Structure 1
């Protein structure tokens, strides 16, 4: 019997739960297995040192410590999480700066409908270790501080409104955020070896100033959401306040689509799938459950219109891997000569025909060596 004829298996706390998903184009039978890249094999490295499938090309959008072409804005060091926002016929790409000591923040690059850069500017400054984050349905960017007792900041991609610190979303080592407009919650990951998976329930959807922070609890395989008594995490950290909270080894990226929040954990090289419709948890990818696993050092994650997931590597062999709706995982691109860096900030423009990402430390291996790229090609619609 072929593997995909089986129901997906969820493995949580030593308990295996089988279940099926409905009416989506998500994966058919977790966990994903190694297979061919749907776009074909990677070609020789281009002038930017990037190996891509045939008919795909790359260009450099910005380099840390240098002015973005055609603008007066100097690109930040250590670029990390990012997202795209529609802007008329064009779009805006926002990028975090994972820098400490108040040097963190977020910058934005604006493109016209022909992908020409028309502006670049800061939208958040003076923060710490802005790692990942997430876009909201009301077109703001949630920038998360990956530091003990870190905050979430809500920012304006257009730079017209000042950034606002969202204390109600809790203080912990934030990594990523993924908005779920169906249940009107925002999922949050925590980058700790014993981290938790959270959701924030705003009092009013579209307003993150007040609400309830909850944590996912696993009671012998039965999942539930429990309020965190003290979201400010002091003196007891949020991940230690609720008995039975499900532990995740180093939460990283998060991406929501069609009733499922996909999120990654770097400590065990997994991509998880939280089925919010049925309140169930599955492992969408695990390098220990995949033959000749191409994906290691899992980090940022995003999705394409065709239903494919794209997962960036922190380490590994500097690849962005694709996970297709029929559960095939394969390298989509590989960056050469930058082994002391990590890939991050994966995001598609609104049309889904341009992919943005950064090499956080570039070839130099230092925060000042970051490079932000764009990949163009025949992405599946």
Structure 2
């Protein structure tokens, strides 16, 4: 894909900070990312945690499901999934969803000091169902999304406060969310084989209690232009939201979602793709397709959560596959950043960078046991490009 210069935005605190960098050009004729050497070098032998990393990077375990978080009295939740980091003075907070059904879901938080040590751990949401992914807002809340057909979005407060259900954001099989402070909307993925890509337009930016739910409309091709259509009944009953708007573009199993500088990237697990919306010119195209990597083999399968660094690299986690986090660079090269060994019955979830960009948090949802009670949350530290 061709590029042009842009200002990419990164939320820190309650505002947006601009960084110089590059942006996918909205040329729908360009090819998706191809194999290339990673910016950090080849993976080394697995460390004591079973993680293969490039030279100069190290991993540590910060929490285990069903076990007390070190230095606290809090028991870390099962099946850790989507997550995000928030600046907290000289430290930071990492939040993590619990993908447990039957009212056992929710979200927990880990508070770290400036040296990366845990100082506290606590719940910010409980009693919900299959909280899979979500998204961070510019006003420092976390949108925790329920991955069930009648799922809601809950706005949670990592710095304190009771979670609030945001009914106006629609009732469907939610997955991830990404806030766009320029257009003052929130993009939402839907984890269904015939799902849509939505955006919520709040009546007042920064307040999600009311607004309009819309869904992307486009043709059946893998690139082209798009528009938005209003969903008449966001409650999705009796007609599901994805069946209410004629011309809605179908995406096969929407997963992670990431916004940066007039672009949204989101993943679809049903066809192992990463999509890109150029919001400046209302076009869409493929940023990655495992069937279009030539020569192969394709490094990224089981695409799931996605995040980005301040440099502009995209990090995509695998649900299954080889238990890898893969990296797509600004020059459209894809490589493996890390690989977890001995956990083939798990998935990687919740990748998120600290505000400084030098630490990456993520979880293995079922760890070595293959059970939701065996989840492991990690931190990787090293010379990330910023």
Do Structure 1 and Structure 2 share a fold, with TM-score over 0.5? Answer: yes
| Equivalence for 2:157 | 156
User: Match for residue 240 of structure 2?
Assistant: 237
**What SS class does the counterpart of residue 168 from structure 2 fall into?**
helix
Instruction: Report the alpha carbon displacement of residue 27 of structure 1 after superposing the two structures with TM.
Output: 4.4
**Root-mean-square deviation (Å):** 1.2
Tell whether 2:117 aligns with 1:116. Answer: yes
- Kindly indicate whether the alpha-carbon contact (under 8 Å) linking 2:171 and 2:236 is maintained by their aligned counterparts in 1: yes
Task: Give the Cα separation in 1 of the matches to 2:122 and 2:304.
Answer: 26
- Does the Cα contact within 8 Å between 2:4 and 2:22 map onto a contact in 1? no
Which of 302, 323, 341 is residue 346 of structure 2 equivalent to?
A: 341
Q: Name structure 2 gaps, 5 residues minimum.
A: 7-20
Hey, what does 2:336 align to over in structure 1?
331
1:182 corresponds in structure 2 to: 182
Range moving further from structure 2, 291-300 or 346-355: 291-300
Contact kept, 8 Å, 2:225 with 2:284, in 1: the verdict is: no
- The answer as to whether partners of 1:30 and 1:327 remain within 8 angstroms in 2 is no
Match of 2:369 among 335, 339, 364: 364
SS of aligned partner of 1:177 = strand
What are the within-5 Å matches in structure 2 for residues 1-381 of structure 1? 7=2, 23=6, 25-27=22-24, 30-158=31-159, 160-218=160-218, 221-291=224-294, 292=296, 293-381=298-386
**Which segments of 5 or more consecutive residues in structure 1 lack a partner in the other structure?**
8-19
Displacement of 1:26: 3.0
Please list the CA deviations of residues 293-331 of structure 1 after superposition, one character each: whole Å capped at 9, or x if unmatched: 100000000000111000000011000000000001000
Q: State the alpha-carbon separation in 2 of the partners of residues 196 and 319 from structure 1.
A: 26
Give the Cα–Cα distance (whole angstroms) in 1 for the partners of residues 301 and 203 of structure 2.
38
Helix, strand or coil at the partner of 1:168: helix
- What CA distance in whole angstroms lies between the structure 2 residues aligned with 1:243 and 1:21? 34
Tell me the secondary structure at the aligned position of residue 256 of structure 1. Answer: strand
Query: Separation in 2 of the partners of 1:278 and 1:21?
Result: 13
The 1-side partners of 2:147 and 2:31 are apart by 29
Structure 1 runs of 4+ off > 4 angstroms?
A: 27-30, 219-222
Q: 1:36, 1:182 → 2: CA distance?
A: 34
| CA–CA separation in structure 2 for the residues paired with 1:254 and 1:75 | 25
Deviation, structure 1 residue 199 = 0.1
How many pairs does the alignment contain? 363
Deviation, 1:277, is: 1.1
Alpha-carbon shift at residue 86 of structure 1 (Å): 0.2
Deviation at 1:223, TM superposition (A): 1.5
